[in-house]
Amino acid sequence: MSDDQNKVRGGVGAGEILERPFLRVVFQHGLPGEVGINGCRVEDVIDVAIERMLRYQAGTLACRENDVALRHLFAAREALMLRLRRRKSQGVLNTMAQHAVVRTEDEVEEFSATGA
């Protein structure tokens, strides 16, 4: 097990605590509807990173690499929002149940996985 893995305690949905030098992240433990809000979500961590990168881009540290990083952070946030909407539409939001995978060819009529 790597040092990074040793620093994460608990399992998925178990309220992990991630610790690094100068950083401590407490993730939600349990379903908010049952136990209340007692930690953050991955989305919250991404939002903090976005805020920081935007500050860099607004000052003397602005650069192309920061812009690329921001685009990827925005894409990560959008992917998690898509997951939330999908879980909600499938009736599994705020549960520990998995949501069904929706294939592109099932959502987009003119899409062909074979290119035909």
* Of the listed ranges 33-37, 89-93, 101-105, 111-115, the one predicted with least confidence: 111-115
Alpha carbon 54 to chain centroid, angstroms: 18
Chain position carrying tokens 């939330």: 84
d(CA 88, CA 42): 18
pTM for this predicted structure: 0.73
E-only strand ranges, the chain: 8-9, 17-20, 23-26
Alpha carbon 101 to chain centroid, angstroms: 17
List, in order, residues 6 or more apart from 116 with CB less than 8 Å away: none
Give yes or no for a contact between 28 and 37, defined as CB atoms under 8 angstroms apart. yes
User: What integer best gives the mean pLDDT of the chain?
Assistant: 84
